């Protein structure tokens, strides 16, 4: 097995000096085999590069900064890497804007369950009888969402029906990365394909695993000209979240052993 110093040099030559941290020195000391395997795992997307280094860094930033993870060392590392790889502050900020929409999945998951309960209790039919008309405001919101976000899905229907005011507020919030100066696509920062890849990244991350959104955004990526290889690379980058366990916990173990 390689020495700790050999593994450090292999890590740096494969993944870059900025990816190395004292945490990995702890991993090298405690388990050289897992560090060696971690280098190999991380090297695959970095070597194949179906996505540019800049886009890879932005995808990894989305995984680390999602509200289900909030991994500060990763946010710091991938923000720095994205800027070094040519990303602008506006592009980095747009990734954060896109990633901040994750919270709406409380409604995407919860609204269908609420509707089921309402139907079981006989409430839904009373509130929305067959004669119910949605009105011009709901129609306008559906059309505005479709125009600004580039798609519509059936799971938005009951959300819109139950609370059009909150849906409207979410529409305003979620379309900030899609609308600049009041126009769709004007002054666009990241192209639509990349935006959809960002959604895929935090939906696929093991801290979230939001299947309905992941499938939808995969389809949207392909619709914007993306490839299966690019989507696969996003999944590979999201898989590297596993390494955060080692990066955080190994130094704690090493420190605990010193105090025995």
Q: Which of 1, 20, 22, 2 is CA-nearest to residue 12?
A: 20
The helix (H) or strand (E) run that includes residue 184 is strand 183-184
Mean pLDDT of the chain: 95
Radius of gyration of the chain (CA): 22
List, in order, residues 6 or more apart from 255 with CB less than 8 Å away: none
Each residue's pLDDT tens digit, 210-239: 999 999 999 999 999 999 999 999 999 999
Rounded to the nearest 5 degrees, what angle is found at the Cα of 153, between the Cα atoms of 110 and 59?
A: 80
Residue from 237, 201, 232 nearest 217 by CA = 201
Contact call for residues 175 and 206 (beta carbons, < 8 A): no
Angle at 116 between CA 114 and CA 118, to 5 degrees: 70
Confidence of residue 146 (pLDDT cuts 50, 70, 90): very high
pLDDT of residue 134: 84
Task: Tokens for 1, please give them.
Answer: 């097995």
What domains are defined for the chain? 4-102+227-258 (1.20.1290.10)
Taking CA 40 as the corner, what is the angle to CA 39 and CA 42, rounded to the nearest 5 degrees? 65
pLDDT(77) > 70: yes
With the C-alpha atoms ordered 227, 228, 233, 235, is the resulting torsion angle positive or negative? Answer: positive
Spatial contact of 247 and 21, defined as CB atoms under 8 Å apart: yes
Rounded to two decimals, what is the model's pTM? 0.93
* Confidence at residue 133, expressed as pLDDT on a 0 to 100 scale: 85
Spatial CB neighbours of 182, under 8 Å, sequence gap ≥ 6: none
What pLDDT is stored for residue 106 in this prediction?
A: 97
Backbone angles phi, psi at 50, to 5 degrees: -65, -25
Q: How far apart are CA 145 and CA 31, in angstroms?
A: 50
**How do residues 111-130 score in pLDDT, each as one tens digit?**
999 999 999 999 999 999 88
Residues 191, 86, 20, 247, CA torsion sign: negative
């Amino acid at each position: 097995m390689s020495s700790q110093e050999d593994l450090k040099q292999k890590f740096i030559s494969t993944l870059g000096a900025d990816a190395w941290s004292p945490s990995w020195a702890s991993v090298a000391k405690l388990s050289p085999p897992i560090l060696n395997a971690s280098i190999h795992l991380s090297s695959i997307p970095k070597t194949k590069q179906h996505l540019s280094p800049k886009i890879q860094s932005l995808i990894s930033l989305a995984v680390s900064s999602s509200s289900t993870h909030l991994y500060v060392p990763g946010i710091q590392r991938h923000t720095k890497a994205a800027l070094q790889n040519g990303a602008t502050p506006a592009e980095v900020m747009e990734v954060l804007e896109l990633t901040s929409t994750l919270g709406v999945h409380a409604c995407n998951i919860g609204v269908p369950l609420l509707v089921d309960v309402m139907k079981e209790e006989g409430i839904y039919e009373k509130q929305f009888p067959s004669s119910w008309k949605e009105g011009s405001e709901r129609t306008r919101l559906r059309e505005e969402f479709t125009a600004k976000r580039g798609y519509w899905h059936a799971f938005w229907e009951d959300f819109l029906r139950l609370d059009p005011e909150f849906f409207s507020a979410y529409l305003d919030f979620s379309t900030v990365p899609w609308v600049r100066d009041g126009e769709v696509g004007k002054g666009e920062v990241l192209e639509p394909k990349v935006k959809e890849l960002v959604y895929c990244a935090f939906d696929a991350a093991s801290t979230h695993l939001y299947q309905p959104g992941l499938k939808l955004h995969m389809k949207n990526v392909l619709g914007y000209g993306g490839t299966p290889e690019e989507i696969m690379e996003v999944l590979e980058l999201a898989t590297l979240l596993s390494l955060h366990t080692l990066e955080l916990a190994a130094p704690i173990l090493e420190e605990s052993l010193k105090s025995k």
